[in-house]
Amino acid sequence: MNWEKIQTVFLDMDGTLLDLSFDSRFWYEFVPYEYAKKHNIELKFAIEELSKKYKSMIGTLDWYCTDYWSDYLKINLKEINYKYKSNIKIFPKTKLFLETLRRKGKNITLLTNAHRDTINIKLNETKLWEFFDCVISSHDYKTPKESNEFWRKLESENIFLKDSSILIDDNINVLKYAKIYGIKYLIEITHPDSTKKEKSGSEFTSVSNICELTMN
């Protein structure tokens, strides 16, 4: 990767900068536990019910929306996020990578599907706020990153050149839409969750995690 040709760095949050293991536990352990406790049902039934609902929502904006899930499940997901925030972890050398980008004068923009409440909790817990020139949630545009509309709105409200921009993300569908839109440099993270097996690579240049990226 020739970093001299890159000016704008678009970074995903969960699975790219932060270990996705927290989200895996959040949705399949913490939320089912709190849901079962709130509604006085067995945990195994809560997990089964929620897993089916999750599958039906993947790829939609509501899948990422804590307001939606709080209303649907009748529990406060913001409070649950905060309660378990000590489990949020950044990948090794993430801060070193961000510091290097800053030192080289790159424009660093966080692009995430996470709700603003979740972003605030995670960036406060990891102390990553200082590294970003801009933080954008897909909720700002009312459409997920894996859509053409997201990229059109991103371009209409932000100044950057496609030919000198890079997106680093663990979601292959997001990368595909970024490619269609015209982002020149694309990198897939293939090991977003440290507790799970690494994914196979795809059509995109890939690294296991962000600590493998070096800047010349």
Residue-number span of the structural domain to which 9 is assigned: 3-20+88-212
On whether both 108 and 182 belong to a single domain, the answer is yes
Final residue of a domain: which of 39, 69, 86?
86
On whether both 96 and 112 belong to a single domain, the answer is yes
On whether both 95 and 111 belong to a single domain, the answer is yes
- pLDDT-derived band at 31, boundaries 50, 70, 90: very high
On whether both 102 and 181 belong to a single domain, the answer is yes
Residue type, 192: P
162-214: per-residue pLDDT in tens?
999 999 999 999 999 999 999 999 999 999 999 999 988 778 999 999 988 87
CATH code of residue 117:
3.40.50.1000
Cα distance between residue 23 and residue 10, in whole Å: 21
Residue type, 214: T
Write down how long the chain is: 216
Checking if the pLDDT of 105 tops 70, the result is yes
On whether both 73 and 106 belong to a single domain, the answer is no
Contacts of 143 (CB under 8 A, 6+ apart): 61, 149, 150, 153
User: Residues 194, 177: contact at Cβ < 8 Å?
Assistant: no
φ and ψ at 122, to 5 degrees?
Answer: -70, -45
Nearest to 121 by CA among 9, 30, 212, 6: 30
Give the Cβ contact number of residue 159 at 10 Å. 7
User: Residues 186, 205: contact at Cβ < 8 Å?
Assistant: yes
Residue 115 host element (H or E):
none
